[in-house]
């Protein structure tokens, strides 16, 4: 290249020298060149200059220059001339001007650019010559193009409320030339408009988010070399729920008197979408209302008779004002004006009264009639006295009282007796002997809580002593209510094993047992609640020390338990938690204005300073027959000043507490320790409270031939029946018939009890006790305290060792139950009935994984699957729906792990069943519904399927895994 430059310079010198030696020739040449190349004095003008270029992969770059007029054009790159052999030159004449146009082109390879190591980029320019000098073109820069793979910043997913601002940041990979950015939404390009800006430094900005802006966003970077895609960012635009307007108040639900009216609103203004929060507050409001009752009119008093008129008539009046008809009531029937003949029709023609001159014969006949009537009355009285005396003497031979006791019994029908011809198997002359091999049905007793129970049972008659050689069949109905095993079993009474009885409780709490007599008002009649031996009794209490693994507290045979979830207590922290059932007077719990009744025991859990990260699940049994619009059931809590405040109604939606009301019990999710109770306000006379009826028998200690039957009416909760069992165990009572349930209506009518079909030739009954009665207020407001009545019987002969009778318990204009008594009254013929218990009877606290039905690994897997928001709708709300816990979802929405709280509630709800079938079925159904989704959904479905399969494993396998 340098040699070529020297040659050109020497050529120019030679040309100039020739021009000086031969001026004429030079002149002629100048004119010739001017004609050929243009006007004298014109420098080369570039028609095309080299452009900046990028080398893509291994493809060379072509640089081109074109100028006129030009004797020669050469390229110069990085300060050095390009060899002439690398130039490609063309020359042609411009048709318009006749001037010569020269065009030169060179190729630059990638290797040339890579080998250059200068302070600046690789560059090239053109140099053109003419007669008057040279011209240079612009510098063209050559660079190797590339685009790296990794983005400097990928966009991140967002969850924003509707009308909120969305900003997605994107920094493309490094590249030459600089990459341009394009945004894709669900693989479609996103254009800019008044609401969306995609030009703000590669970022995507949406000023006001709409529901349609939800989707998957991708940042696409590209240059002349390649295109690169960022990670996908999911944008979810959610809508928080808002309440609609309240509906109008409904009509009062009763036609007359005090009732209830309701209004409601829905969380649809707007409805929560895409994981938005549910509305906080109540969806239903209730208010008491008073419907005016129709008042039928009643007649007032008659006025005095008027003076007898000349027509021998008198008059009197009355008004329909006692009371006046109101509110559509009926008017009085009858006449307002009354008339009468004041002489009895003995008015003379001259208007004088005939009785003023009464004949003498009439007076004599009146005296005879008077004396005859008196004589007949005396005879009738004498006959009645003789008849009653004979009748009483006749009945006393059989020892049965038949005196009319309607005043005592409140309208009971007279007692009927069965004669020997009816074939009663217990009669002396009966031709048939009783079948003592007949299977008798009893249920498991209350679980005793200390080691002295065995001694009491061995020394005293059992609560469940049957006839000798009877078969005892344990049924699940009573066992479930007492908290014992559901597995039915049949045993012969002679095969009772002493180890059938439960073990005692821990020494710290054995003194807080069930011993002691029962509370109640002292009454001198045979009716009423059991009287206490002390003003108040120690509470039922259970306690345990819990840590991070959680556990369960159970007060045996009361229907009361507490579940502490796993993780509720911080790591390396332990709490001594307790539960207490209050046995003091519960009158302060109730509101007299609302006519409330206590439906459950008062339960306290603590300690008060307990610090939990998630709510505990408490289960309390209740005695209400749950039906729509018949009850208003509320949860109450005792405050620090010993007053009771309403926490929530079980029908409301609240974010502070959760109530799941079932037929027999209520499951509560609580966050604050304290004393709680369920109370109910009857909304109509159709409100029903369940009563449990039981009959016990024992010999009369004061009379060797006497026998006492005691009938108990208690609220149908396991806790209330504990008091009965405790009292009867102390006095040596024997359960004679499986307890039965009576539905007691709130219609203000009393409960009547009567004994029937007592063998009159074998037994006598104490007078005035065949029919007894509890008032409505005694039964309705018993507040978990048992009511008792007694029937005292006496055998005529020591040989009469069997008792057969029936006891009728009925509510006036309500339901009736029959308790059949068939037992032996001889102590030597009785045998101890074995007790069949379950873990609830002796195990009052369980810690760690053994206390839960759901293994910890499966619980964590379920929470990880359903707590995460999913665009396909597979979240904790769907889990709650499949587990039938889809009320009051706003409570779960505010929890840190809604799925964990839902599973804790499921644990409390299924603590007695001991299986995982319902949970496994729900997960399997969710897996089937979402089996057609994308790969991520398939992965979640596989997780759900594995969880379902694990839930289907046996309990022994799960126990082995956690051991």
Check whether residue 796 and residue 712 sit in a common domain.
yes
Check whether residue 795 and residue 807 sit in a common domain.
yes
CB of 136 closer than 8 Å to CB of 126: yes
Domain total of the chain = 5
The CATH number assigned to the domain holding 247 equals 2.20.100.10
- pLDDT tens figures, 711-760: 999 999 988 888 888 888 888 888 998 999 999 998 889 999 999 999 98
Rounded distance between C-alpha atoms, residue 260 and residue 687, angstroms: 13
In a domain, 345, yes or no: no
Q: Is the predicted pLDDT of residue 433 greater than 80, yes or no?
A: no
393 band by pLDDT with thresholds 50, 70 and 90: low
Higher-scoring residue by pLDDT: 555, 14: 555
Share of the chain above pLDDT 70, in %: 70
Q: Is the predicted pLDDT of residue 35 greater than 50, yes or no?
A: no
**Rounded to the nearest 5°, which phi and psi values hold at 175?**
-165, 165
- pLDDT tens figures, 583-626: 776 666 777 667 788 999 999 999 988 889 999 999 999 999 88
Tokens of 164: 């909120």
Rounded distance between C-alpha atoms, residue 775 and residue 773, angstroms: 6
Among 618, 697, 725, smallest CA distance to 665 is for: 618
In a domain, 673, yes or no: yes
Rounded distance between C-alpha atoms, residue 53 and residue 70, angstroms: 25
Check whether residue 607 and residue 725 sit in a common domain.
no
pLDDT of the residue at 345: 62
The CATH number assigned to the domain holding 712 equals 2.60.40.2660
Rounded distance between C-alpha atoms, residue 740 and residue 441, angstroms: 12
Q: Is the predicted pLDDT of residue 297 greater than 80, yes or no?
A: yes
Rounded distance between C-alpha atoms, residue 577 and residue 550, angstroms: 11
526 band by pLDDT with thresholds 50, 70 and 90: very low
- Lowest mean pLDDT across 202-206, 525-529, 862-866, 893-897: 525-529
Among 217, 232, 227, smallest CA distance to 186 is for: 217
DSSP annotation of 498: G
In a domain, 83, yes or no: yes
Burial status of residue 913 (CB atoms within 10 A of its CB: 0-12, 13-18, 19 or more): exposed
In a domain, 306, yes or no: no
Check whether residue 198 and residue 212 sit in a common domain.
yes
- pLDDT tens figures, 471-502: 333 333 333 333 333 333 333 333 333 333 33
Rounded distance between C-alpha atoms, residue 551 and residue 561, angstroms: 11
pLDDT of the residue at 422: 39
pTM (global) more than 0.95? no
Rounded distance between C-alpha atoms, residue 494 and residue 256, angstroms: 61
CB of 63 closer than 8 Å to CB of 53: yes
Check whether residue 549 and residue 624 sit in a common domain.
yes
The CATH number assigned to the domain holding 570 equals 2.60.220.30
pLDDT of the residue at 873: 62
DSSP annotation of 451: T
In a domain, 254, yes or no: yes
Check whether residue 169 and residue 249 sit in a common domain.
no
The CATH number assigned to the domain holding 53 equals 2.60.40.10
Check whether residue 128 and residue 156 sit in a common domain.
no
DSSP 3-state of 111: helix
Higher-scoring residue by pLDDT: 870, 542: 542
pLDDT of the residue at 904: 92
845 band by pLDDT with thresholds 50, 70 and 90: confident
The last residue of one of the domains, among 222, 238, 254, is 238
Q: Is the predicted pLDDT of residue 934 greater than 70, yes or no?
A: no
Check whether residue 190 and residue 127 sit in a common domain.
no
Check whether residue 208 and residue 93 sit in a common domain.
no
Task: Give, in order, the Cα–Cα distances in Å from 266 to each of 178, 243, 277, 287, 877.
Answer: 55, 6, 14, 18, 18
CB of 789 closer than 8 Å to CB of 753: yes
pLDDT of the residue at 456: 35
Higher-scoring residue by pLDDT: 11, 854: 854
Give residue 740's region: left, alpha or beta (phi > 0; psi -120 to 50): beta
Give me the sign of the Cα torsion angle 845, 849, 855, 861.
positive
Rounded distance between C-alpha atoms, residue 628 and residue 861, angstroms: 38
Q: Is the predicted pLDDT of residue 256 greater than 60, yes or no?
A: yes
- Lowest mean pLDDT across 48-52, 501-505, 791-795: 501-505
Burial status of residue 91 (CB atoms within 10 A of its CB: 0-12, 13-18, 19 or more): exposed
Burial status of residue 786 (CB atoms within 10 A of its CB: 0-12, 13-18, 19 or more): buried
In a domain, 447, yes or no: no
432 band by pLDDT with thresholds 50, 70 and 90: very low
Check whether residue 665 and residue 557 sit in a common domain.
yes
Q: Is the predicted pLDDT of residue 157 greater than 70, yes or no?
A: yes
DSSP annotation of 203: E
pLDDT of the residue at 841: 53
Share of the chain above pLDDT 90, in %: 28
Rounded distance between C-alpha atoms, residue 287 and residue 433, angstroms: 64
Q: Is the predicted pLDDT of residue 353 greater than 50, yes or no?
A: no
Question: To the nearest whole number, what is the mean pLDDT of the chain?
Answer: 75
Check whether residue 552 and residue 675 sit in a common domain.
yes
The last residue of one of the domains, among 682, 713, 743, is 682
Higher-scoring residue by pLDDT: 757, 931: 757
441 band by pLDDT with thresholds 50, 70 and 90: very low
514 band by pLDDT with thresholds 50, 70 and 90: very low
Tokens of 419: 């004669």
Check whether residue 695 and residue 818 sit in a common domain.
yes
In a domain, 323, yes or no: no
- What pairs with residue 309 in β-bridges? none
Please give the average per-residue pLDDT across 39-46, as a whole number. Answer: 72
Q: Is the predicted pLDDT of residue 335 greater than 70, yes or no?
A: yes
The last residue of one of the domains, among 682, 710, 734, is 682
Domain extent for 227: 146-238
- Lowest mean pLDDT across 117-121, 135-139, 536-540: 536-540
Q: Is the predicted pLDDT of residue 869 greater than 60, yes or no?
A: yes
In a domain, 260, yes or no: yes
């Amino acid at each position: 290249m340098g040699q070529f430059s020297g040659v050109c310079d020497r050529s120019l010198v030679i040309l100039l020298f020739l021009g000086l030696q031969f001026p004429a020739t030079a002149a002629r040449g100048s004119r010739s060149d001017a004609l050929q190349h243009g006007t004298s004095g014109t420098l080369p003008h570039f028609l095309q200059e080299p452009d900046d270029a990028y080398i893509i992969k291994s493809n060379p770059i072509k640089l081109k220059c074109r100028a006129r007029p030009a004797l020669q054009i050469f390229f110069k790159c990085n300060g050095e001339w390009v060899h002439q052999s690398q130039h490609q030159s063309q020359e042609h004449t411009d048709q318009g001007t006749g001037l010569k146009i020269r065009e030169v082109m060179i190729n630059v390879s990638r290797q040339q650019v890579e080998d250059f190591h200068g302070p600046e980029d690789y560059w090239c320019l053109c140099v053109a010559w003419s007669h008057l000098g040279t011209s240079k073109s612009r510098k063209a820069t050559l660079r190797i193009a590339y685009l790296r793979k990794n983005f400097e910043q990928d966009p991140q997913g967002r969850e924003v409320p509707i009308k909120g601002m969305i900003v997605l940041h994107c920094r493309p990979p490094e590249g030459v030339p600089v990459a341009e950015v394009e945004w894709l939404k669900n693989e479609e390009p996103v254009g800019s408009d008044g609401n969306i800006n995609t030009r703000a430094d590669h970022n995507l900005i949406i000023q006001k988010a709409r529901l349609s802006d939800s989707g998957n966003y991708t940042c696409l970077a590209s240059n002349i070399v390649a295109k690169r895609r960022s990670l996908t960012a999911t944008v979810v635009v959610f809508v928080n729920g808002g309440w609609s307007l309240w509906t109008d108040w409904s009509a009062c639900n009763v036609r007359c008197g005090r009732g209830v009216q309701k209004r409601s609103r829905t969380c649809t203004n707007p409805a929560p979408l895409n994981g938005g929060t549910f509305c906080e507050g109540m969806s239903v409001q209730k208010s008491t209302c008073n419907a005016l009752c129709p008042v039928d009119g009643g007649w007032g008093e008659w006025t005095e008779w008027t003076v007898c008129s000349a027509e021998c008539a008198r008059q009197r009046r009355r008004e329909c004002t006692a009371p006046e008809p109101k509110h559509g009531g009926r008017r009085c029937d009858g006449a307002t004006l009354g008339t009468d003949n004041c002489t009895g029709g003995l008015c003379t023609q001259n208007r004088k009264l005939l009785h003023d001159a009464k004949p003498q014969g009439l007076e004599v006949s009146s005296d005879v009639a008077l004396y005859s009537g008196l004589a007949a009355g005396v005879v009738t009285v004498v006959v009645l006295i003789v008849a009653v005396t004979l009748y009483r003497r006749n009945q006393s031979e059989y020892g049965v009282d038949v005196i009319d006791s309607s005043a005592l019994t409140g309208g009971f029908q007279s007692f009927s007796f069965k004669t020997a011809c009816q074939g009663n198997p217990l009669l002396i002359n009966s031709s048939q002997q009783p079948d003592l091999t007949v299977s008798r049905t009893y249920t498991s007793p209350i679980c005793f809580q200390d080691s002295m129970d065995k001694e009491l049972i061995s020394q005293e008659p059992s609560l469940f002593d049957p006839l000798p050689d009877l078969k005892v069949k344990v049924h699940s109905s009573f066992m479930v209510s007492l908290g014992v095993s559901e597995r039915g079993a049949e045993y012969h009474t002679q095969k009772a094993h002493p180890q059938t009885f439960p073990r005692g409780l821990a020494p710290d709490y054995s003194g807080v047992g069930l011993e002691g007599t029962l509370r109640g008002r002292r009454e001198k009649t045979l009716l009423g609640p059991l009287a206490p031996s002390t003003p108040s009794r120690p509470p039922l209490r259970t306690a345990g020390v819990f840590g991070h693994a959680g556990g369960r507290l159970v007060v045996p045979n009361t229907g009361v338990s507490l579940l502490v979830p796993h993780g509720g207590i911080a790591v390396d922290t332990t709490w001594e938690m307790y539960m207490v059932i209050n046995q003091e007077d519960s009158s302060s719990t109730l509101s007299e204005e609302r006519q409330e009744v206590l439906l459950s025991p008062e339960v306290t859990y603590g300690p008060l300073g307990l610090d939990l990260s998630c709510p505990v699940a408490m289960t309390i049994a209740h005695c209400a027959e749950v039906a729509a619009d018949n009850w208003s059931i509320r949860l109450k809590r005792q405050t620090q000043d010993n007053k009771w405040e309403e926490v929530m109604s079980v029908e409301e939606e609240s974010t502070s507490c959760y109530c799941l009301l079932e037929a027999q019990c209520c499951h509560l999710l609580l966050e604050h320790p304290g004393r709680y109770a369920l109370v109910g306000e009857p909304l109509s006379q159709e409100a029903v409270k369940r009563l449990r009826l039981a009959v016990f028998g024992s010999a009369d200690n004061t009379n060797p031939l006497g026998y006492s039957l005691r009938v108990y009416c208690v609220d149908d909760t396991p806790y209330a029946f504990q008091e009965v069992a405790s009292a009867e165990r102390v006095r040596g009572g024997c359960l004679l018939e499986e307890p039965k349930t009576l539905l007691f209506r709130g219609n203000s009518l009393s409960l009547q009890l009567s004994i029937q079909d007592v063998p009159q030739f074998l037994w006598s009954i104490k007078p005035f006790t065949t029919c007894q009665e509890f008032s409505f207020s005694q039964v309705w407001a018993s507040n978990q305290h048992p009511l008792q009545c007694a029937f005292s019987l006496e055998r005529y002969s020591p040989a009469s060792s069997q008792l057969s009778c029936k006891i009728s318990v009925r509510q006036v204009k309500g339901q009736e139950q029959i308790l059949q008594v068939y037992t032996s009254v001889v102590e030597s013929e009785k045998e101890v009935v074995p007790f069949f218990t379950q873990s609830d009877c002796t195990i009052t606290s369980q810690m760690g994984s053994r206390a839960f039905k759901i293994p910890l690994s499966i619980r964590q897997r379920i929470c990880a699957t359903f707590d995460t928001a999913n665009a396909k709708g597979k979240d904790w709300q769907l889990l709650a729906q499949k587990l039938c816990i889809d009320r009051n979802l706003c409570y779960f929405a505010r929890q840190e792990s809604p799925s964990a709280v839902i599973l804790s509630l499921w644990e409390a709800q299924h603590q007695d069943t001991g299986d995982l079938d319902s949970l496994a079925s729900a997960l399997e159904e969710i897996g089937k519904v979402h089996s057609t989704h994308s790969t991520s959904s398939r992965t979640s479905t596989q997780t759900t399927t594995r969880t379902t399969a694990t839930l289907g494993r046996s309990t022994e396998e799960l126990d082995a895994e956690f051991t």
